[in-house]
Amino acid sequence: MNMGKTLFAQVMEFVPWKTFARIIERHKGDTGVRTLGCADLFRVMAFSQLTWRESLRDIEVCLEANQSKLFHMGIAAPPARSTLADALNLRDWRIYHALALRLISHAKVLYAEDPSVLGLDASVYALDSTTIDLCLSLFNWAPFRSTKAAIKLHTLLDLRGAIPAFIHISDGKLHDVNVLDILLVEAGSFYIMDRGYLDFVRLYAMHRAGAFFVTRAKENMDARRVYSFPVDRASGIICDQRVMLNGFYSAENYPDHLRRIRFNDPGTGKTLVFLTNNTALPALTIAALYKSRWQVELFFENTT
């Protein structure tokens, strides 16, 4: 007979329970609560996430089927789905937000000694969003289309350790580029984004803040070449240029030089055009930085 701890109990040991208790007390989260306090709700929802439960009924049935193990998991009794629904509606979300920030700060310490991305002496972040479909009749505050609701999960992922550094939840209609308005830019860091974030006003603000961006150019971008750097075409780099925007408003929005790199991906045969404000890194490093953006796609696949 196995007398060791369950896998779930071992995972829960990483939660700073004393800190969590102080957070709950600060927000008076358990005031007037008779069953399923904030900590118990966290355990139940963590179990549901780790075991891929799909509904409140699914959670209830699964916990009831494992009643003999609940004590070792830290769960007193399986909650009824009505109790669980009430708890999810009434508990203060700020409690779990504060806990998440504390867990993220702990995780960053664990990865502090890991090699930096591509050997760069700077933080590298990937910015992207994913859309989560919802039932319109239940989530009428998040309209998306005429027949369904949705929210967008905007995430800035620190590529050292794949740890989210910023998360913003909006309705499904918010355009990705608007998130740049609320993003706190860290000087000296790299921000990797797809073409959905190509807005020259916002990119110039990032440039003036001392941060570096790497994104892809749109096909209809109007720009003139100012200078071409020598390249080795055998490496896949077709051209490495310094350019200025031609359009009246575009040039007004981004009056400085941009670096344009045309790259032929040997894996797919596609030609990609990158835009960046960094002029020091080799062109192949810029291409490799953009390729590392796929880590945020994998993050979404594993968490949503």
pLDDT in tens, 93-122: 999 999 998 998 888 888 777 777 888 888
Burial of 37 (0-12, 13-18, 19+ CB in 10 A): middle
Q: Does residue 202 fall inside a structural domain?
A: yes
Total of domains in the chain = 2
3-state secondary structure the chain: CCCCCCHHHHHHCCCCHHHHHHHHHHCCCCCCCCCCCHHHHHHHHHHHHHCCCCCHHHHHHHHHHCHHHHHHHCCCCCCCHHHHHHHHHHCCHHHHHHHHHHHHHHHHHHCCCCCCHHHCCCCEEEEEEEEEEECCCCCCCCEEECCEEEEEEEEEEECCCCEEEEEEEEECCCCHHHHHHCCCCCCCCEEECCHHHCCHHHHHHHHHCCCEEEEECCCCCCEEEEEEECCCHHHCEEEEEEEEECCHHHHHHCCCCEEEEEEECCCCCCEEEEEECCCCCCHHHHHHHHHCCHHHHHHHHHHC
Residue 2 belongs to a domain: no
* Among 107, 126, 151, residue at a domain's last position: 107
Identify whether residues 130 and 266 lie together within a single domain. Answer: yes
CA dihedral 263, 267, 270, 275 (to 10 degrees): -30
Residues 41 and 179 placed together within one structural domain of the fold: no
pLDDT in tens, the chain (304 residues): 455 678 888 889 889 999 999 999 999 999 988 888 999 999 999 999 888 888 899 999 998 888 888 888 888 888 898 999 999 989 999 999 999 989 988 888 887 777 778 888 888 999 999 998 888 887 888 888 878 889 899 999 999 888 898 888 888 888 999 999 999 999 999 999 999 999 999 999 999 999 999 999 998 899 999 999 999 998 899 999 999 999 889 999 999 999 999 999 888 889 999 999 999 999 999 999 999 998 888 888 876 6
**Domain match, 125 and 32 both:** no
Question: Are 212 and 227 spatial neighbours (Cβ–Cβ below 8 Å)?
Answer: no
The answer to the question of residue 268 being in a domain is yes
186: left (phi over 0), alpha (psi -120 to 50) or beta: beta
Domain hosting residue 241, numbered range: 111-303
Residue 1 located in a structural domain: no
119 and 165 share one domain? yes
Could you tell me if 67 and 141 lie in one domain? no
Is residue 49 domain-shared with residue 184, that is, in the same domain? no
Same domain membership, residue 163 and residue 47: no
Same domain for 125 and 250, yes or no, is yes
